[in-house]
Amino acid sequence: MISQSVTVPADGAELAGDLAVPASARGVVLFAHGSGSSRLSPRNRAVAAQLRTAGLGTLLIDLLTAREERRDASTGEHRFDIPLLARRLVAAIDWLGDRSDTRNLPVALFGASTGAGAALAAAAERPDRVLTVVSRGGRPDLAGDALDAVRAPVLLIVGGRDHEVLRLNQEAARRLHAPHTLHVVPGATHLFEEPGALEQVADAARRWCDDRLKAAAELSTGAGGVRGCGIPRAHSRV
């Protein structure tokens, strides 16, 4: 396992990150946290640890600089700036593509809350690099028109008691042209703080990513791979 603190240049900023790449990694998951959170989010770090046991690398980054975080804490001007957050995620995707240890690994995006909207917008910008998108308690509606352009398969995980976010996810799912699944965790609220709820999120994300990787590997042995990454182009619903 290679684990290190990194700095990701993105959109004129320097973003702090934590990169972990297991030996013989099959892919790398880039995390996009929600408003008021950071790469130190205990929920995202718990999910990341579970994904690494499945042979996936993880990159958790702060989408805002320390100065921007301080300003946002008082003004709230950045937390819903989805175009800004998406540009920085795209830069992080490209950064992973420039590294010798991750350039050949398909990228999965894991977005939480507002980070899910940014992740979907970034996936629409990099269809040949993004294998899949996973949303945890996300706001896919914030992706706007980019939602219609997403081609990567999407897993939407929502708490059964997170009623408003569940409604927004159901509406967003109807707009997706890519394969997608809405996974509801019974009894869970927005932060999945109930006993066992976050473990269900991590397990669903791990199984989803594993299935997407297996499908991509099968495709790469044929003629349907994309740029050598074995990323299938998605058109049908599931």
| Domain range summary for the chain, segments of one domain joined by + | 2-220
Asked whether the predicted pLDDT for residue 177 surpasses 90, the reply is yes
Q: What is the pLDDT of residue 229?
A: 45
Q: Are 157 and 205 in contact (CB under 8 A)?
A: yes
Is pLDDT larger for residue 220 or for residue 202? 202
Mean of pLDDT values over 80-94? 94
Lowest mean pLDDT among 28-42, 69-83, 93-107: 69-83
Are 134 and 110 a contacting pair, CB within 8 Å?
yes
Determine whether 38 is exposed, middle or buried from the number of CB atoms within 10 Å of its CB (0-12, 13-18, 19+): middle
CB within 8 Å of 49: residues ≥ 6 apart: none
Architecture of the structural domain at 2-220: 3-Layer(aba) Sandwich (3.40)
Q: How far is CA 235 from CA 22, 38, 69, 114, 177, in A?
A: 31, 33, 38, 25, 6
232 band by pLDDT with thresholds 50, 70 and 90 = very low
Lowest mean per-residue pLDDT among 9-13, 55-59, 116-120: 9-13
- At 231 the pLDDT is 43
